[in-house]
Amino acid sequence: MDIKYVSTTCPYCGTGCGFNLVVRNGKVFDVAHWQRAPVNGGKLCPKGRYAHEFINSPDRLTKPLIKKDGTFVEATWDEAYDLIAEKFGSYKPDEMACLSSARASNEENYLMQKFARVALKTPHVDHCARLCHASTVAGLAAVFGSGAMTNSIKDITESKCIFILGSNTFEQHPLIARSVIRARGDGAKVIVADPRNTPTARQADLYMPFVSGTDVAILNGLMQEIIKNGWEDREFIKKRTKDFEKLREVVMKDAYSLENVSKISGIPVESLRTAAGWIAQAEVATLIYSMGITQHTVGVDNVKSTANLMMLTGNLGKPGGGVNPLRGQNNVQGACDMGALPNVYSGYQKVTDEATREKMMEAWGVDDIAEGKVGYTVTEMINILADNPGELRCMYIMGENPMLSDPDIQHVEEGLRNLEFLVVQDIFLTETARLADVVLPAACYAEKDGTQTNTERRVQRWRKAQDPPGEAKPDWQILCDLGRRMGYGKQFAFESPEAIFAEVAAVTPSYHGMSYGRLDPDGLHWPCPTAEHPGTAILHREKFAMPDGLGVFSAIEWKPPAEVPDAEYPFVLTTGRVIWQWHTGTMTRRSRSLEKEAPIGWIEINLEDAKALGIRDDEVVRASTRRGSIDIPARVTPEIIRGVMFIPFHYKEHPANMLTHNALDPIAKIPEFKACAVKVEKIVEA
C-alpha cells in the first residue's frame, strides 16, 4: 500500500489553516494534523478536519455538459471549448460578464480577470467579495488607504481588550477564536455585541445583545462616552489623523447619548458605559468584525465607524491593536488582490488610471484591453439581467452559486434565465449550473497546485494530492485553454501555476517580492515589495497608506436599514451561518461527518415572540417577506433578542435568500443580508 502525506491549506475559511491530506494508492482518504502549519499549529475546526470527505463524492462533475433541448448531454472538451469560443466571440464586450471565485487560487483568479479583460475585453468582472467584504474594501481604503486586516491573527493574543462586533468568530473563524481565548487567558477583556447569544458571545466578559442594524448608533454612543470622559488618545489623533473635529461634531449630538443609543439598540446604558471604559482604558485594544457590520445598506458607514473608534483610542499601528475584518472565504482576500473586481487590476491598481491601463497592456503584450471604466458588480449584473434584458447577454461563472447565495432568489433566477448563453464551471452540478448552457467540470483544491491569501494577508501554498475525477481539469488550465482558443496563445501559454504566479508577482506591487520558493514554510504577508523583504504582518505602523500618511475620521450619522418592521412584517430578519455548514452547502452537505451534525435549516425565534405567536419549538412555520415565503422549522430560544429572527442560509430546502432584500449600499453595492422585515405565521392545515 502506498501512503503519502501532502501538506496544503484549508479550502474553507479565510483563517488559512494548514493540514495534511492523507493519500492512499493515489486517492485522498483522510486529513491529518500538520503540526508545523503556521496559522493553526496543527489544530483544526470540524470543517478542516473533514475537508477530505466531499473530494471523492460520486456527485463530482467529471465531464463537460452541453444543454441540448433542455437536457444536459455529455460532451468532449473540444466540443465545449468550440461552442464557448464561438459564442463568446459573437457578443460585444459590454454584453458579457464574468464571475470569478474566492474558492479558487490566486493564479486562477488572476487568469479569470485577465481572460475577461484581454480575451473578452469586458470590464464586467467581479466575485462574491461583493456579498461579503465589499464594504470593508471601500470603507477601510477610504480611511486607512488599505482595505485589509491591519494586524495578524497571532497578534490578537497580545491584545488587552477585544471588541467583537458582528462576528461569530467561534463558529465562523474557529482558529482565530483560539487567539481570543489565549488573550483572555492572559487577562484581556472580551466584549461581544450580537443580536444572538452565539458561542462567541458565551465567551465574553461583557455580552451586549442588540437589534440588527443599529451598529453606527452604538459606535457613536461609545465614542461620545469616551470623549466626554476625556479618554481619547489626543497624541495619536494629532499626529496620525485628520478631520477629528468633524467626527466630534456628529458623535457629541444628543442623538448619541447613551440613553438614546440604549433606546435605539436595546443595550442597557450600563453595558455601553462599561464597554466604552474597557476599550478606551485598555493598554491596547483590538476590534474584530465581520458580516454583522458589512452586510448592510450602510455597510461602508459601519466600517468607517469601527475605524473611527479605534483611531479615537489610538489603537492602530501597534501590536495587539487594529481594525480586523475577518475575511470569509479561503481566498477572498486573494481574489480581491488579484483584481477579480470591476474597478481594479491586481494589487488594487485602478482601471480608470490610463497610465496603469497602458502598463497592463504592455505587460500582457496586447494593444487593446477592456475599456478603462469601472465594470458592473455582481449585484448590478443581476439587476441589469432582471430589469433590462438584452443589455447583458452572456455570462461565465466560475465557482459561485448565486442561485442560493444572492439576495432575493426569484429575482436572481429571473435574471439568469434572461441570459442567452451561460457557462458555469464548478466541482458539482449546483442550482446555478442547472441553468447553464455549458457546464465545465473543475478540479477541487486537493487536485491542483496554487496559492491562496488568508485574512491576515498571508500567501500560502495548495499542493496537489490526487488527480481530478474523470476529465475534470483545474480552473487555471481551463482558462488557459479558453484563452488560447480565443486567439491569445501567448497571453495564456502557462504550463503551471508557478509560472502564473511569477507573472502575478511581476505586475502586482504588493506581491513583487514573492515566489513559490519563498512561500515555504510559513507563507509571506503582503506587502512584500522585494525579493529580500520579510513581508508585513502589521500595517500602518508609522503612517497610513494615504498620500499624506494620515488616517481620516469620518462623520457618520446612524440610518436605519432599508426595510424596517411595520404592522404587516413586524420582525427583523437576519441571516448567517453555523459552524458545520458552508454557504450553499455544495461541499459540507456532501461531507458525512458535517452534514449529520446540522442536516436541516431553522428559524430562530425568541421565546417571548414565539409565545405571542403561538408557535412551539420545532413546529414548521411560514416565514414571509415582500420577496417570498418559505416553510421552515422554528427553533424557539431565549438566545436571540426579541423582535429579531435568524435563518442560516445553507439549506436549499429552506432557502433564506428567498426572503432577503436586494437593497444595496450605495458605494460598496453589498446587499442588506443582515436586516429586512419578516412575518412568521403558524401553518394552518387546509
Q: Which residues contact ligand MGD by CB under 6 A?
A: 13, 47, 101, 103-104, 128, 131-132, 165-168, 171-173, 193-196, 198, 212-213, 215, 290-293, 295, 328-329, 398-402, 405, 425-428, 430, 442, 444-445, 475, 574-577, 579, 581-584, 586-587, 646, 649, 656-657, 660, 673-675
Smallest distance, Å, CB 469 to ligand SF4?
Answer: 22
**Residue 336 interface partner, choices ligand MGD, Mo ion, ligand SF4, none, CB cut-off 5-8 Å depending on type:** none
List binders of ligand SF4 among 502-531 (CB under 6 A): none
Binding partner of residue 574 among ligand SF4, Mo ion, ligand MGD, none, CB under 5 to 8 Å per kind?
A: ligand MGD
Q: Confirm or reject binding of residue 445 to ligand SF4 (CB under 6 A).
A: no
Q: How far is the CB of 489 from ligand SF4 (least distance, A)?
A: 37
Residue 83 amino acid letter: L
C-beta closer to Mo ion: residue 174 or 328: 328
- From the list ligand MGD, Mo ion, ligand SF4, none, pick the one residue 426 interacts with, judged by a Cβ distance below 5 to 8 Å according to partner type: ligand MGD
Residues 78-107: x where in contact with ligand SF4 by CB under 6 A, - otherwise, as a string: ------------------------------
Q: Shortest Cβ distance from residue 386 to ligand MGD (Å)?
A: 17
326 binds ligand SF4 (CB under 6 A): no
> Residues near 392 by Cβ (< 8 Å), separated by ≥ 6?
95, 96, 97, 124, 376, 381, 384, 385, 419
Among 38, 123, 147, 174, binds ligand SF4 (CB under 6 A): 174
Nearest approach in angstroms of CB 59 to ligand MGD is 10
Contact 511, 535 (CB under 8 A): no
With CB under 5 A as the contact rule, which of the stretches 218-226, 230-238, 254-262, 322-330 interacts with Mo ion?
322-330
Q: How far is the CB of 4 from ligand MGD (least distance, A)?
A: 22
Q: What are phi and psi of 119, to 5 degrees?
A: -85, -40
> In the stretch 46-65, what mask flags binding to ligand SF4 with x, by CB under 6 A?
-xx-----------------
**C-alpha grid cell for residue 246?**
468633524
Q: Which residues pair with 394 in a beta bridge?
A: 96, 421
3-state class (DSSP) for residue 375? coil
How far apart CA 362 and CA 351 sit, in angstroms, is 14
Provide, rounded to whole angstroms, the least separation between the CB of residue 275 and ligand SF4.
27
CB under 5 A: which stretch of 132-140, 211-219, 343-351, 636-644 binds Mo ion?
A: 132-140
Helical H segments across 317-408, by residue range: 332-337, 354-364, 378-387, 402-405
* Closest CB to ligand SF4 among residues 441, 523: 523
| Amino acid sitting at position 221 | G
Whole-number Cα distances in Å, 646 to 578, 595, 604, 642? 11, 20, 5, 11
Q: What is the per-residue DSSP string for 110-124?
A: HHHHHIIIIII----
Residue nearest to ligand SF4 (CB): 48
Q: Which of 147, 213, 328, 561 binds Mo ion (CB under 5 A)?
A: 328
- Are the C-beta atoms of residues 411 and 627 closer than 8 Å to each other? yes
Out of Mo ion, ligand SF4, ligand MGD, none, what residue 315 binds, judged by CB under 5 to 8 A for its kind, is none
Name the minimum Å distance from CB 428 to ligand MGD: 5
Q: Using CB distances below 5 to 8 A depending on partner kind, what does residue 48 bind out of ligand MGD, ligand SF4, Mo ion, none?
A: ligand SF4
CB 453 within 8 A of CB 340: no
Helix, strand, or coil here: 270?
helix
Cβ closest to ligand MGD, residue 196 vs residue 318: 196
**Residue showing cell 475599456:** 371
Question: For residue 446, what are the contacts with CB-CB under 8 A and spacing of at least 6?
Answer: 8, 11, 21, 28, 52, 55, 464, 465, 466
CB of 580 to ligand SF4, least distance (A): 11
Ramachandran bin of 600, using left for φ above 0, alpha for ψ from -120 to 50, beta for the remaining angles = beta
Query: Is the peptide bond prior to 497 cis by the omega test (within 30 degrees of 0)?
Result: no
507 binds, among Mo ion, ligand SF4, ligand MGD, none (CB under 5 to 8 A by kind): none
Q: Is 216 in the site for Mo ion (CB under 5 A)?
A: no
Residue 414 contacts which entry, ligand SF4, ligand MGD, Mo ion, none (Cβ below 5-8 A, type-dependent): none
45 binds ligand SF4 (CB under 6 A): yes
Beta bridge partners of 20: 7, 32
Distances 615 to 573, 575, 598, 602 between C-alpha atoms, Å: 17, 20, 22, 13
Please say whether the beta carbons of 458 and 472 come within 8 A.
no
CB of 197 within 8 A of CB of 170?
A: no
* Nearer of residues 233 and 380 to ligand MGD, judged by Cβ: 380
How many residues sit close enough to ligand SF4 to count as binding (CB under 6 A)? 14
User: Which residues partner with 633 through β-bridges?
Assistant: 620
Specify the stretch interacting with Mo ion by CB under 5 A; choose among 7-15, 228-236, 321-329, 444-452: 321-329
Among 80, 111, 175, 258, binds ligand SF4 (CB under 6 A): 175
Stretch in the footprint of ligand SF4 (CB under 6 A) among 39-47, 251-259, 444-452, 561-569: 39-47
Region near ligand SF4 per CB under 6 A, out of 44-52, 68-76, 536-544, 557-565: 44-52
Q: Is 111 in the site for ligand SF4 (CB under 6 A)?
A: no
Out of 66, 132, 311, 645, the only residue in the binding site for Mo ion (CB under 5 A) is 132
**CB atoms near residue 659 (< 10 Å):** 28
Q: Residue 342: name the closest of 375, 384, 313 by CA.
A: 375
How far apart CA 153 and CA 183 sit, in angstroms, is 11
Count residues binding Mo ion (CB under 5 A).
2
Our CB check for ligand SF4 shows the closer of 178 and 473 to be: 178
- Under DSSP, the state recorded for 516 is H
**Minimum CB–partner distance for residue 330 and ligand SF4 (Å):** 7
Asked if 602 and 631 count as a contact pair (C-beta separation under 8 A), the reply is no
d(CA 108, CA 476): 5
Longest dimension (CA), the chain: 73
- Is residue 25 packed enough to be buried (19+ CB in 10 Å), middle (13-18) or exposed (0-12)? exposed
Q: Which three cell numbers stand for residue 293?
A: 457590520
Number of H helices, E strands in the chain: 23, 30
Choose among ligand MGD, Mo ion, ligand SF4, none what residue 660 binds, the Cβ cut-off being 5 to 8 Å by kind.
ligand MGD
Of residues 105 and 151, the one with the C-beta less far from ligand MGD = 105
Residue 156 lies near ligand SF4 (rule: CB under 6 A):
no
Closest Cα partner for 117 from 333, 342, 349?
Answer: 342
Segment near ligand SF4 (CB under 6 A), from 170-178, 495-503, 599-607, 611-619?
A: 170-178
**In the complex, which residues of this chain contact ligand SF4 (CB under 6 A)?**
10, 12-13, 15-17, 40, 44-45, 47-48, 173-175
Residues that bind Mo ion (CB under 5 A): 132, 328
